[in-house]
Structure 1
């Protein structure tokens, strides 16, 4: 079972490397499949960057408003504000929400401009 981003990334990398080896061993004409391994490598790099960004909560918006990414520390701040509604915890939660919302809105603007957002 995959329980973290690193494991998912490693399993994906293993599968891609196996496919690259399989493609390389396949007899092909000079033009057929030329450069395919470079495309796969580039796509794997994009996936790794994406997964790392999720893991670091540096991506906030996933898909068409299907999810908002929070780090566990950010989530804990929100929980603390609800669990122990003291002014200090509430202020920390408000700052966290404002930061996440600002990043989300920036990504939403980028999506409207047509910049690539995964999924």
Structure 2
């Protein structure tokens, strides 16, 4: 199963959940039993797998929800150089860099939303 796709893994988890629901009447109620709560664990595993596949949110640390951050190589170099060679505290350096990047992104978003798209252009 090392080359299994997300769909194959999700399907396998869904089958296991269906099986556990079908045998709910015989489920173990002793918390020391190895199968105790296995259906709930499989549900959480499936939910986690789907969140990874969607790329929206991931569980980090103690169940803290974090958004993924994507940096270009140039942006990473800016952050790395600022933290390595900067005179200010790392927090101040990162805030300045993030501020510049947000400004550029906001400007791009504003310009893009203000553009008039020609319906005759197919792309």
TM-score range, shorter chain: 0.3 to 0.5
Larger RCO of the pair (alpha carbons < 8 Å, separation 6+): 1
Answer 1 or 2: which has greater helix percent. Answer: 1
Normalising by structure 2, report the TM-score.
0.32
Normalising by structure 1, report the TM-score.
0.33
